[in-house]
Structure 1
Amino acid sequence: MTWEVFNIIGTIAFAVSGALVAMEEDYDILGVVVLGLVTAFGGGIVRNLLIGVPVDSIWQQGLLLKTALVAMMIVFLLPSGIIRHSMKWLYFFDAIGLAAFAIQGALFASNMNHPLSAVIVAAMMTGIGGGIIRDVLAGRKPVVLREEIYAVWAMAGGLAVGLGAVQKPLELYGLFIAIVLMRLLSLKYKWKLPRRAITP
């Protein structure tokens, strides 16, 4: 049940995130749908490839596909003023999707009895995969490749799940809130990973 809840939360959050980016880039309704679906399901597809789950299992998620489409259409049909205000919430939706899908991916790999390394990778790729594909299709530099801390929080969630530190539903929801908060705090205070630029 917990796995399904995180799946639904992540799907809605990333579908909305993809739709907002598409509208910000002035895409038409087809572009909104494509970018929203890619953001919502891209990470799960990449994860499935890495841990040996058939990719076509996505077509068995009819309810999630419909949920994503409804979320995108609601955003698309909102008045312009509300949409412009919603752009300020883009990073918030992104943080929710990151946290929900990181935990969902970690639970998925853990339930398949994969080793800790695979659980961490599954958490990271489920959390960031859709966002990377979204940004590339929108002609943007992927957020995860910027100096802002992003993928680290997904990996931390995967580590917590893989080590068995969080198992009960309340603990998992607490981890979800913690990842969202840490992602938003890293944006607010501009926390960065070490970087080194090579200049001519």
Structure 2
Amino acid sequence: MLWDIFSIIGTAAFAISGTLVAMDEKYDIFGVYILGFVTAFGGGAIRNLLIGLPASYLWSQTTLFYISLISITVILFFPKWMSSPWKKTGLYADAIGLAAFAIQGALHAASLGHSLLAIMVAAFLTGSGGGILRDVLARRKPNVFKDEIYGTWAALAGLVIGLCGTDHPILIYGLFTCIIFLRIYSFHRKWQLPVPKVHYQ
């Protein structure tokens, strides 16, 4: 049940995030749908390949495809329903998607009996993979690797689930809220991880 809930939330949030980026970059309708779908399903597809699920598993998620399609269509044709400016709306959608998909990926890996490290990697890839693909296709630098603390929060979700298990729904919902808060708070506070410096002779 938790897995399904976070799959639905993450799919809708990332589909909206991808749609907002595509519209901001002035993509045509086809491009908007493609970027929305890639953002919603890209991270999960990468995770599935790495934890041993067949690539064809993606096509069995019919309900999530419909959720993504509806989310993209609503934003595409009713953009005024979203608050202004879009940058703030995109941040919130992205934070919700990050938290939902990171937890969903961690739950998935944990259900297969993978190690703590594998659970953290699955959380990172599921939470961040779609956003990375979205930024690359939109010809933006993926902030997950540079300007912002992003993937770290996804890996943190995997760490907590790997250590505490999956039998505590209240803890998991609390973790969901915490990851959203940390993502938005770190963005506004402009938190950054240390950047190694290379000294050339």
TM (norm. structure 2) is 0.94
The 1-side partners of 2:175 and 2:80 are apart by: 35
Deviation at 1:86, TM superposition (A): 3.6
In structure 1, the gaps of 5 or more residues are none
- Partner residue of 2:6? 6
Give the 3 Å change call, closer, same or farther, for CA 158–79 of structure 1 in structure 2: closer
Matched to 2:172, the amino acid is L
* CA offset digits 1:81-100 (Å, max 9, x no partner): 85753442111110100000
> What is the number of equivalent residue pairs in this alignment?
200
The 1-side partners of 2:196 and 2:170 are apart by: 40
Conserved 8 A contact 2:10-2:40: yes
The 2-side partners of 1:81 and 1:168 are apart by: 35
The 2-side partners of 1:86 and 1:170 are apart by: 32
The 1-side partners of 2:20 and 2:74 are apart by: 11
The 2-side partners of 1:13 and 1:81 are apart by: 15
1:177 is the counterpart of 2:163: no
In structure 2, the gaps of 5 or more residues are none
Paired residues for 1:20-169 under 5 Å: 20-79=20-79, 82=82, 85-164=85-164, 167-169=167-169
* CA offset digits 1:6-63 (Å, max 9, x no partner): 0000000000000000000000111011000000000000000110001111111001
Tell me the secondary structure at the aligned position of residue 164 of structure 2. Answer: coil
- Stretch of structure 1 that moved more, 187-196 or 79-88: 79-88
Tell me the secondary structure at the aligned position of residue 108 of structure 2. Answer: helix
Conserved 8 A contact 1:161-1:167: no
The 2-side partners of 1:31 and 1:165 are apart by: 40
Matched to 1:183, the amino acid is R
Deviation at 1:143, TM superposition (A): 1.7
Deviation at 1:169, TM superposition (A): 1.6
Give the 3 Å change call, closer, same or farther, for CA 87–148 of structure 1 in structure 2: closer
The 2-side partners of 1:28 and 1:137 are apart by: 14
The 1-side partners of 2:96 and 2:81 are apart by: 23
Identical-residue share of aligned pairs (%) = 50
Matched to 2:58, the amino acid is I
TM (norm. structure 1) is 0.95
